[in-house]
Amino acid sequence: MSAPMSRPFLKMNGLGNDFVVVEARSAPFAPTAAEVRAIADRTSGVGCDQVISIERGEGVDARVRFWNADGEEISACGNGTRCVGWLLMQAKGSDHAVMESRAGLLVATRAGERLVSVDMGTPGLGWRDIPLADEQDTVTLGVPLHPAMAEPGACVSMGNPHVVFFVSELDEALVRSVGPVVERHPLFPQGVNVGFAQVLGRDRIALKVWERGAGLTQACGTGACAALVAAARRGLTDRTATVAVDGGELLIEWRADDHVVMTGPAAVDFAGRLP
């Protein structure tokens, strides 16, 4: 790491999806995969689903970087973006913050007391956008992904790859058995986040997500966005719906301008120093 490990951090969460957020605008933060795993370890480290750094950016409020608990750097994290957006808005006394990420520009706006809306940009819907190993209809995949899933699955990129299965009811045992296998399926050269969505109405979805590199989490912001987009493309829901995850609820809007906006809470758990 290019600066001492002993530096301040904030432990934050968005609906239970938790993060170690490191301020890196004054000193570089470039952890190795092993160092990320040590921080994320819930027994010997701080414990989190993702590690996030806030860095200086050109023409934006900050640049953000995300690492999954397995040490891999990823392009996007919806709940983490919401938490960082809240921090930036608090720091500058504004209702608006712009962040640069590997997935592009992310815009956060204040939506209430500790509620933040994030414009997650436009979804990637082509097979190369996901990316997939070969050409497929991303609305309804033509390849079986797991013997337990007759449902073919739908694919969406929200800056990171997602496959969504629509199920009649949510079963955590199914998520835990199917998720890690599909995550590493050859169709997904970069791996994939695996969502299991139960459509409860035109405006409501229940969701569990097996996150690539993190496993089953309390909430997945990009997963909620992907589930709404996939459901709307199949005609199962309208383009705005509440997505209920284990940690709470997110409002997802797939607007007429093709941008996906996610609204939900951000919380600070505690402050500390990296060991």
Given 48, 83, 155, 220, the catalytic residue: 220
Distance between CA atoms of residues 157 and 127, nearest Å: 9
Radius of gyration over every alpha carbon of the chain, rounded to an integer in angstroms: 18
Given 77, 83, 155, 225, the catalytic residue: 77
Sequence letter at residue 195: G
Question: What is the pairing mode between strands 62-68 and 73-74?
Answer: antiparallel
Active site residue 220: yes
Beta-bridge partner residues of 36: none
Active site residue 48: no
For residue 73, the tally of other CB atoms under 10 A from its CB is 15
- Catalytic annotation, residues: 77, 220
